[in-house]
């Protein structure tokens, strides 16, 4: 096995262009992105963002009770008196007023400046760049929300958030709005469970919330981890693609003639991938740390945890290297295999937050991204950096081990039998 591992390491290390790419490019990107996002927060964690939001209220709150009562009678078959009583009780929650109070609260006003405009004027200012986004409250929104809460039916209207282009500020505004909607839905759910007895609509708090972390998690740390894991995916693809070099230079034929067990070839690829990935990620983390102080004042235990999780990711990606290698040996075109590997790398990189912050993705894509190897690695390290508590990473680490066995099993199953390789 030593000869197989040495072979794969030498083949990779001799490609100095590839080596410099996976080692230096992520560090360059970390530095660039760190400066690009440095203006979001200052050193004292004071808010420096000034978000400009236009609110277009097309709903007539004075007609809410009448609209709600009418819908309960005609659409939900309520009796007249019952519909009136239910409408009056439900009318105690005014979503539009709660939203207005939320946006005008002292905490949120530190972040967001609200402009109450007509839709046409708001759209023009958003297009010109004077505003970061506009929030439209459509006609009948309040009555429809209350009706949906009472009957359990899905609402037919919703808040409309419009932007000119996707930016950090527009995404931050969307997170504010989404947070309010989730809190409002939570209040509706509680009211439904308790039949509205003793429940008041609680206004969500704005501003920054301390979630009890022992350490802060910074954007520099995010970029360092995410880009290190992203380029580890490129290392995996490169290790697998070197099989094409071995076929071209007849190295693969000489291995077959030596009557070596085929699994030694595949396991050698996996072992080489583990070594290269560990060295690559540690190089990125340590160089970034010494250049920019990414992980200041951390204990020896912290660095041991980092090393263990890097090794864990390396084993997972070695299983992915086994799959890539088996797929390449079954294909007649090396270029086609390379295209498949790059497509998979781009997919994993995007969903796992390697190309841009994962928090900018929709919630459902974030949920998928956590189940990619690099996305899960990012989630584990985020927990470790903030809490440095082994109990918080045990479960996701078990998932990583499961990924390793799953990928390895698939790679072994796909690996062609003697004489079957293309």
3-state secondary structure (DSSP) of residue 289: helix
165 and 116 within one domain: yes
- What pLDDT score was predicted for residue 198? 40
| Contact call for residues 141 and 158 (beta carbons, < 8 A) | yes
The pLDDT assigned to 361 comes to 77
Tokens of 383: 């927990």
CATH code, domain carrying 154: 3.40.1710
pLDDT at residue 45, rounded to an integer: 44
Residue 248, pLDDT above cutoff 70:
no
Residue 394 lies in a domain: yes
52 DSSP 8-state letter: E
**214-223, 309-318, 390-399: the lowest-pLDDT one:** 214-223
Residue 203 has pLDDT above 60, yes or no: no
State the pLDDT at residue 262.
67
pLDDT at 12: 78
Q: What angle do CA 381, 310, 40 make, to 5 degrees?
A: 35
Cα–Cα distance measured from residue 22 to residue 15, given in angstroms and rounded to the nearest whole number? 11
CA distance 54 to 37: 25
Contact 168, 38 (CB under 8 A): no
252 and 345 share a domain? yes
Decide if 199 is inside a domain: no
Same domain (yes/no): 30, 113: no
Co-location of 114 and 137 in the same domain? yes
pLDDT (mean) for 21-47: 70
* 72 and 34, same domain (yes or no): no
Query: 127-154 b/e with 16+ CB inside 10 Å = b?
Result: eeeebbbbbbbbebbbbbbbbbbbeeee
The parent domain of residue 146 ranges over 51-194
Q: What is the pTM of this model?
A: 0.59
Claim to verify: residue 95 and residue 155 sit in the same structural domain: yes
The closest of 99, 102, 88, 165 to 136, measured between CA atoms, is 99
What confidence score (pLDDT) does residue 176 get? 75
Residues 33 and 163 in one domain: no
Query: Domain for residue 200, yes or no?
Result: no
Residues 135 and 163 in one domain: yes
pLDDT in tens, 364-393: 888 888 899 999 999 999 889 988 888 888
Examine the fold and report which residue of 194, 223, 251 is the final residue of a domain before the chain moves on. 194
Q: Is residue 131 part of a domain?
A: yes
What pLDDT was estimated at residue 229? 93
Which of 34-43, 57-66, 352-361 is the least confident region?
34-43
Residue 66 has pLDDT above 50, yes or no: yes
Give the span between the Cα atoms of 284 and 300, in whole angstroms: 18
Claim to verify: residue 82 and residue 7 sit in the same structural domain = no
Residue 293 lies in a domain: yes
274 lies in the same domain as 407: yes
Mean of per-residue pLDDT scores for the chain? 80
Is the per-residue pLDDT at 41 higher than 50? Answer: no
Number of domains in the chain: 2
Between residues 222 and 199, which one has the greater pLDDT? Answer: 222
Residue 164 has pLDDT above 90, yes or no: no
DSSP secondary structure, 126-149, as one string: HHHTSSSEEEEE-TTHHHHHHHHH
Of the three residues 149, 166, 194, the one that is the final residue of a domain is 194
* Of the candidate ranges 23-37, 133-147, 165-179, 389-403, the one whose mean pLDDT is the lowest: 165-179
The yes-or-no verdict on residue 250 having pLDDT over 50 is yes
pLDDT digits (tens, 9 = 90+) for 284-325: 999 999 988 889 888 899 999 999 999 999 999 999 999 998
Mean pLDDT of 25-36: 85
Q: Are residues 79 and 225 in the same domain?
A: no
Q: Are residues 163 and 221 in the same domain?
A: no
Which of 5-14, 215-224, 239-248 reaches the highest mean pLDDT?
Answer: 215-224
- CA-closest candidate to residue 329, choices 413, 397, 247: 247
Is 110 part of any domain? yes
- Contact between residue 95 and residue 142 where contact means Cβ atoms under 8 Å apart: yes
201 assigned to some structural domain:
no
Q: Looking at the domain assignment, is residue 113 inside a domain?
A: yes
- The 51-57 sheet, strands edge to edge: 112-116, 51-57, 133-137, 160-162
């Amino acid at each position: 096995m030593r000869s197989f591992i040495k072979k794969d390491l030498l083949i990779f290390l001799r490609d100095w262009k590839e080596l410099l790419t996976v080692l230096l490019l992520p560090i360059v990107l970390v530095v660039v992105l760190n400066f690009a996002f440095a203006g979001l927060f200052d050193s004292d964690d004071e808010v420096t963002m000034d978000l400009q939001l236009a609110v277009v209220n097309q709903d007539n709150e004075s007609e809410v009770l009448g609209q709600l009562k009418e819908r309960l009678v005609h659409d939900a078959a309520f009796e007249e008196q019952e519909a009136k009583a239910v409408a009056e009780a439900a009318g105690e929650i005014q979503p539009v007023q709660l939203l207005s109070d939320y946006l005008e609260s002292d905490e949120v006003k530190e972040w967001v400046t609200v402009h109450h405009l007509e839709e046409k004027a708001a759209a023009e200012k958003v297009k010109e760049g004077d505003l970061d986004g506009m929030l439209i409250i459509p006609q009948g929104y309040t009555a429809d929300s209350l009706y949906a809460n009472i009957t359990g039916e899905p609402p037919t209207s919703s808040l409309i958030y419009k932007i000119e282009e996707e930016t950090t500020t527009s995404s931050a505004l969307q997170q504010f709005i989404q947070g309010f909607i989730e809190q409002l839905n939570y209040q509706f759910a509680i009211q439904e469970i308790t039949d509205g007895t003793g429940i008041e609509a609680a206004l969500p708090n704005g501003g920054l919330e301390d979630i009890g972390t022992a350490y802060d998690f910074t954007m520099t740390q995010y970029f360092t981890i995410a880009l290190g894991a992203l380029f580890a995916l490129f290392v995996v693809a490169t290790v697998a693609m070197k099989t094409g070099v071995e076929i071209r230079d007849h190295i693969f034929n000489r291995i077959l003639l030596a009557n070596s067990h085929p699994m030694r070839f595949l396991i050698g690829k996996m072992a080489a991938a583990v070594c290269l990935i560990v060295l690559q990620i540690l190089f990125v983390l340590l160089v970034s740390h010494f250049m920019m102080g990414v992980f200041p004042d951390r204990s020896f235990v912290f660095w041991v945890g980092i090393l263990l999780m890097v090794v864990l990711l390396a084993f997972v990606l070695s299983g992915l290297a086994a799959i890539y290698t088996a797929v390449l040996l079954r294909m007649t075109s090396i270029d086609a295999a390379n295209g498949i590997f790059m497509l998979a790398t781009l997919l994993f990189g995007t969903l796992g937050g390697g190309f841009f912050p994962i928090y900018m993705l929709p919630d459902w894509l974030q949920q998928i991204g956590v189940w990619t190897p690099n996305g899960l690695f990012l989630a584990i390290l985020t927990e470790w950096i903030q809490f440095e508590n082994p109990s918080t990473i045990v479960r996701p680490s078990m998932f990583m081990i499961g990924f390793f066995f799953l990928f390895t099993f698939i790679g072994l199953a796909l690996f062609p039998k003697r004489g079957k390789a293309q």
